[in-house]
Structure 1
């Protein structure tokens, strides 16, 4: 975006540029100065806060006097000078040069005279204070003669000199005092007028510091002695300021190529008016807000919610202290209070209130109620901080889809003006979806279009974003994406966690299932088989099959796989697994965490009893494989405090699950033959301890104990039946 798109903050000069009805005011001031018949000087104070348009009014005054031969305008800029000595001498020579150019025709002589006087001023200023030094300087004989000549020429010409001094309130305190001393000491020039533009409160406070040991209102009193005509800038109506501000907003939106719905426009205007109206105090504030949007909207176009961004930028411009709180407290403002029963929620709510309250107290012209209402709308979590409304986790997907700032997946983008490391832009996701239409299904690993974007580090973000968008992806793109993702499934992160379905690995299988659902129903079975064949690892083949959407008598759905289709796909998967095992592969080493699912698939879809035959042969080759089989059925437990995982015990549920696929007699015979020590069990169930080095042997003992218990249980049941008979 080019710089010319930004709305300049420079003061204006022409009447047609006047948006705030200041031209007539300026013209009136100019006419008073021009038509004044009294030859004595006059000092006018033009009061207004920073950004209120004082410089523009000075420009208007000068412009309206352009054609008036009775007045010479001199702009004296205090910012040109560093030290006080430069400020004082610069002021005098600016006047002398202007008079020389406009009034005195024999200028060389006067210029030499002025230059001759200048060195003496520097010597005096080096020895005395600035005010005293200048007083001595202008009271010297040479300077008095110069003043007389200038005054004589002014009186002869009957022309007035108007000296415009801007930005007085931006000088250092010592410079402010020196400037007012200067005006006081030179105010006896005839036919000379001064207009000093500044923030009255700022300058009065600076002068007060100078007179800190005197009366409380010493600064105000000093100003009253110097300023003979105090003028305040005409106030700008709030509606006019708001329209001016919204013009900048419209321009920023158009440049960014953003189209807002009517609902979004209403949402923005309602929130803006509620929170920012009182902050919109000057044209500069309004212009600053528009320029801020001119920068941020194009950078984040399509990557965030535009209304949220516009409102956040409003907070940044009008209440920087609150923006600072939001920027570093992501966890406090995203998501919801997930568990209202946790007592620490009250502590967190109080903490949020205190942070917000302190930040709003620091701001200027802040409508607290309006800002809090804005925050509640931007961050729904705060509805339960300032009221009783709460949101459940089911809203997370809606906030994600809306790219809302309250979503923890989008929050950081609003503050970095970029896609955070590890994240993937929504534009990239959209491009991926669009481009995949052309990929086809016959992809090879080396040329897979996902090679650059799908890595172990990026897999979680990519899969999550594609899942959110999966319902919008076309059938053609869905086929290509399903195959491409499956082909790279061995590079998808699969950490050990408490809930395995939350891993990117399982989420990727869910994504493939979602994409398969986007395909016309007659083609889905073949696509599912294609993905199973394409997956480079057995674990993902099983995950795909496990997450296919099935008929459920309790939840009847029309758009799912029929029982017949699932059976067809299951048989295909069973054959794939069986073919792998024909090569004499050890399943306990090939897919150690998937053994229960593999055993179930083989028995159900290949042949009942397949697992018994396979395990018999496997144990003959490697008896230790029996321990690995039982270990695969043992659940993983997680320490609540440490978060560290460890194997739990082999219990009745695991015994039932294993023996439903593998005959208990097969396992028991193998234990008796290869691990006889595990047959000796006590009456008490063998327990696993964290420091137990022989966990595998212990799992075997637990199997034996449970098997004996089941036999006794069965015998007791038979005896009870006989007694009843």
Structure 2
């Protein structure tokens, strides 16, 4: 299969032993030898039984290949199921035989035989209107045996026996009268016609059968009649076929090879009044079963086909997790593959769906999860179809769901429902597959919990258990609002280039930036350690350019950048190494936003007595470098500094980290010297709180009087308000004015701050 030539696998039986993948050619060879060795005055009935897709027809084809190679048997293949519903079967069959005879030799004898065959076929078809469906194809089987006998006679130069052959066939047809349905009326006239023909040729019925037995006994090669797909017949058709075989088991040098699934045929015969098992035992002298398939052989075929899919889909191959695959296959998938047909059905559609989700540079799904879900879709389609209905539960993303006993019982109940939708032989494997694919349920199924780092890895690997990627497995496409893996891959590739990484990231809207960075958290392990300095510089730079808005469902892009940096630093074991790395990167590229977040998180850890990311000396040195960088920026252009939407945090840091603990307030006193700068300063102090009522969310902006007091003093703020001309303000400035006014009023009333600053 080439990259641009998608083909479904052909699960039809093989025709030649050179295509044998399961080492059954030897079995077929021995079966052929047994058939050619039969020389007896009675027929031999051999059955080859096995389940659907077990390889019965493939063994038959290899057996016939061996017989053809040795020229030791004359073969007539007849599939009654293919003809069971066709009209004028006799006429069509003999027309075809006559054409074959005439093509082989254009001599006068064979021309005459071909003519008689066509005439005989049309003659037999005159009673078709009163014969049942089974009766239509009964004479075909008998006729095919007799045609072979007649051809052997002609080959021996006994042309006179053609006439006897026709009379023998007519009499033989008469022997099946007792079990042909509704034959009585039509058979009366038909038997008179056949009787008249016998009379005309001065042969009795006994003489015809004796001549037929003589012809068969004289043959040097047995006549093999192959009947395939008997298990596809209706119960009545099964009855007719097996009665036909039973009625003619006394002919010499005739071997019947019957192929069917035994339990299906037994059930069919039971429906029409027989004891199916006993009846088959009376007819079949040599019952054979299809050899069992070694698990190693079947797995080798499956592995070969999966390797071919991965070869054609390098995106899937690139991130293929062999350890996860072995675990998934051994615990959940192996039981589904019991024969080659299962393998072919599965790999055909898997190749098709892999093409849909391969992505551009990297796969958009996890290959192992895709393989497992395809197993569900092929072998347990009802279970597969129900999975999207339970997306939130399976991905552990139900809003406000608690991990308590009622929820645990609900999870187990849903899993039981999904399992019970599958065919009973597969239910145990289905349960295991679901547990492997959805570790998000382990808290309820096995009392196992996973930390946030592990969940980020699932997301980075596009596991189906993550609600962000679940839909693509079932929609078989990438939703427009989703984050494609190709974008994440490109960002990962640019992580050592601060300019290119930042440019690609900020080309997306602020809310989408946060989602992208959330997904990147799981790829931190792939950032190159040998280029750690460049990685840290990239993250420092990006932090100064991404958005700061936080949503209800995600951190702000700035916070996500800092989380990326902290996770990357954790890959370096020593705190000293981390400190040196950040110090060197910050000296070359002073990213103020990320350093604000990093130092704030480090200080909080230390206040709580936890171990930080940095060593003590490094932490102190970074604080000094950060304060110096802030002071330089703030002094260089106070207006630009105040226009930075993050300047309020910087002023707090100047208070927190500078000598004396008031560096921010001193800068405000020195530089907030105009009405415009006061409004910019006040705007930086704006915060907001959100309230929920009646299913609606309301945002309320406010300014903390405590923050104003710390940075400027409330009295000085009041003086600025008195100086401002409200009439010349724009809407933003007017809103800021009113928020400062409200903060001063609340303080004057003695109202406590009811929110966190």
Structure with the bigger RCO (C-alpha within 8 Å, sep 6+) is 2
Partner in structure 2 of residue 547 of structure 1 = 597
Q: CA deviation at 1:233?
A: 1.6
**Native 8 Å contact 1:30 1:61 kept in 2:** yes
1:385 and 2:444 are equivalent in the alignment: yes
Q: What's the secondary structure of 1:610's corresponding residue?
A: helix
Aligned length: 649
1:43-84 per-position Cα deviation (integer Å, ceiling 9, x unaligned): 433211111110111012212212444411233355765833
1:563 and 2:623 are equivalent in the alignment: yes
Q: CA, structure 1 residues 645+127, in 2 after alignment: closer, same or farther (shift >3 Å)?
A: farther
Partner in structure 2 of residue 617 of structure 1 = 675
**Native 8 Å contact 1:20 1:236 kept in 2:** yes
Partner in structure 2 of residue 29 of structure 1 = 31
Partner in structure 2 of residue 357 of structure 1 = 419
Q: CA deviation at 1:546?
A: 3.3
1:481-504 per-position Cα deviation (integer Å, ceiling 9, x unaligned): 559856974xx6x766347x7134
Q: CA, structure 1 residues 423+35, in 2 after alignment: closer, same or farther (shift >3 Å)?
A: same
1:283 and 2:340 are equivalent in the alignment: yes
Q: CA deviation at 1:466?
A: 3.5
Counterpart pick for 1:502 among 545, 555, 571: 555
Find the aligned partners of 1:386 and 1:176 in 2 and give their Cα distance: 49
Written as runs of structure 1 = structure 2, the 5 A alignment for 1:106-185 is 106-119=109-122, 124-126=127-129, 129-132=132-135, 140=190, 157-170=219-232
Q: CA, structure 1 residues 30+257, in 2 after alignment: closer, same or farther (shift >3 Å)?
A: same
Q: What's the secondary structure of 2:59's corresponding residue?
A: helix
**Native 8 Å contact 1:637 1:647 kept in 2:** yes
Partner in structure 1 of residue 180 of structure 2 = none
Written as runs of structure 1 = structure 2, the 5 A alignment for 1:567-606 is 567-575=627-635, 578-580=638-640, 596-597=648-649, 600=652
Q: What's the secondary structure of 1:9's corresponding residue?
A: coil
1:350-369 per-position Cα deviation (integer Å, ceiling 9, x unaligned): 3333224313xx3253362x
1:707 and 2:748 are equivalent in the alignment: yes
Q: CA deviation at 1:349?
A: 1.8
Find the aligned partners of 1:601 and 1:155 in 2 and give their Cα distance: 110
Written as runs of structure 1 = structure 2, the 5 A alignment for 1:631-646 is 633=686, 635-639=688-692, 642=695, 644-646=697-699
**Native 8 Å contact 2:52 2:261 kept in 1:** yes
Q: CA deviation at 1:109?
A: 1.8
Find the aligned partners of 2:671 and 2:6 in 1 and give their Cα distance: 79
1:664-698 per-position Cα deviation (integer Å, ceiling 9, x unaligned): 2244457789999xxxxxxxxxxxxxxxxx99979
Partner in structure 1 of residue 166 of structure 2 = none
Find the aligned partners of 1:664 and 1:285 in 2 and give their Cα distance: 79
Q: CA, structure 1 residues 662+23, in 2 after alignment: closer, same or farther (shift >3 Å)?
A: same
Partner in structure 2 of residue 332 of structure 1 = 393
Q: CA, structure 1 residues 607+596, in 2 after alignment: closer, same or farther (shift >3 Å)?
A: closer
1:73 and 2:130 are equivalent in the alignment: no
Counterpart pick for 2:518 among 464, 467, 482: 464
**Native 8 Å contact 1:320 1:363 kept in 2:** no
1:236 and 2:293 are equivalent in the alignment: yes
Deviates more, 1:335-344 or 1:393-402: 335-344
Find the aligned partners of 1:480 and 1:705 in 2 and give their Cα distance: 44
Find the aligned partners of 1:643 and 1:465 in 2 and give their Cα distance: 29
Aligned-residue CA RMSD (Å): 5.3
Q: CA, structure 1 residues 218+116, in 2 after alignment: closer, same or farther (shift >3 Å)?
A: same
**Native 8 Å contact 1:280 1:286 kept in 2:** yes
**Native 8 Å contact 1:578 1:602 kept in 2:** no
Find the aligned partners of 2:565 and 2:299 in 1 and give their Cα distance: 50
**Unaligned residue ranges in structure 1 (runs of 5+):** 533-542, 582-586, 677-693, 712-725
**Native 8 Å contact 2:501 2:542 kept in 1:** no
1:522-542 per-position Cα deviation (integer Å, ceiling 9, x unaligned): 65335544x67xxxxxxxxxx
Instruction: Give the structure-1-normalised TM-score.
Output: 0.70
**Native 8 Å contact 1:330 1:408 kept in 2:** yes
Q: CA, structure 1 residues 366+440, in 2 after alignment: closer, same or farther (shift >3 Å)?
A: closer
Q: CA deviation at 1:200?
A: 2.5
**Unaligned residue ranges in structure 2 (runs of 5+):** 140-169, 175-189, 202-207, 570-577, 656-661, 727-734, 753-757
**Native 8 Å contact 1:131 1:181 kept in 2:** no
Counterpart pick for 2:454 among 384, 395, 407: 395
1:133-174 per-position Cα deviation (integer Å, ceiling 9, x unaligned): 567995555798899999887566544332323334456778
1:197 and 2:197 are equivalent in the alignment: no
Q: CA, structure 1 residues 708+615, in 2 after alignment: closer, same or farther (shift >3 Å)?
A: farther
Counterpart pick for 1:44 among 40, 43, 46: 46
Find the aligned partners of 1:90 and 1:524 in 2 and give their Cα distance: 87
**Native 8 Å contact 1:619 1:670 kept in 2:** no
